[in-house]
Amino acid sequence: MKLSLLNHSGFLLDDGHRAYVFDYFKDPAGLVKKAQAEGRELWFFATHLHGDHYSPRILDFNTPTTKYIVHEDVPKEGLPTDRTTFMAVGDETTIDGVKITMYGSTDEGGSFLLTFPNLTVFHAGDLNWWHWLGDTDENNRFAREYARKEFNRVQGMKADVVMFPVDARLEAAREWGSIEFLHHVEQPKLFVPMHANGPIWEPSIYFKALYEDLPLWIPQHDGDTTDLKPYETAQQG
């Protein structure tokens, strides 16, 4: 499989037959259009309704093979009833051999864990510790407790590849969420930052000291692609 950054928190996971598109918002490199033109079956995942995670333009790609797996708050208008799966936090379903689990968020909607025979992939949506410097103590206490609650939901979760917000607007607290999340789950084989909202993330000395053995892929440009084959589990037979 190959993983490509579309923009912001949007990614395309390509297995050569299907293209799994997460939180489509913008696609300056035209990767989704290209995948469809090359015959990929498109599956769109929408973690929530925020304008930087969801666009109704995903309906522009609707064909008889396109699937939509979305949080239950996404508007139903225009979505094909026979090829759309609405999910709530805690739901689990299997579609054509792909197990899909929706975990929680510390904002709107949820997050997705996809389990393939040879790879597990987690897209966090807006799951993060949203500690804003300069906010009130009350609001930041709420953010801390909300993060604790949702990170406890993922305790012990196994994911080979994790896409997680590392938002520059949080300033000194930019890495807090990723550090706490990684403390709760089994260490992934690859960590991919997203939702930058500013300068591309450069891991701090503290982060590197905590997770010195954690492979990172930090996309530099929209359209950047990495090969996930090194992180896949060899199949038997």
Secondary structure letter of residue 187 according to DSSP? P
Specify the 3-state DSSP secondary structure of 206. Answer: helix
Spatial distance between the Cα atoms of 32 and 12, rounded to a whole number of angstroms: 7
The residue that leads in pLDDT, 49 or 204, is 204
Ranges of each domain in the chain: 2-231
The mean per-residue pLDDT over the stretch 194-215 comes to 97
Helices (H) and strands (E) in the chain, counts: 4, 13
Tens digit of pLDDT for each residue in 18-31? 999 999 999 999 99
**Alpha helical stretches, state H, the chain:** 31-37, 137-153, 176-184, 205-210
Predicted local distance difference test score (pLDDT) of residue 235: 65
Distance of CA 187 to the CA centre of its chain: 16
The mean per-residue pLDDT over the stretch 189-203 comes to 97
Secondary structure letter of residue 212 according to DSSP? T
Whether the CB-CB separation of 29 and 12 falls below 8 Å is answered with no
Q: Above 60 in pLDDT, residue 79?
A: yes
Q: Above 80 in pLDDT, residue 200?
A: yes
Q: Which of 62-66, 74-78, 98-102 has the lowest mean pLDDT?
A: 74-78
What's the whole-number average pLDDT of the chain?
96
Q: CATH number of the domain at 2-231, please?
A: 3.60.15.10
Residue 236 pLDDT grade (very low, low, confident, very high; cuts 50, 70, 90): low
Question: What pTM did the predictor assign?
Answer: 0.96
Predicted local distance difference test score (pLDDT) of residue 234: 76
Spatial distance between the Cα atoms of 198 and 166, rounded to a whole number of angstroms: 10
Tens digit of pLDDT for each residue in 148-174? 999 999 999 999 999 999 999 999 999
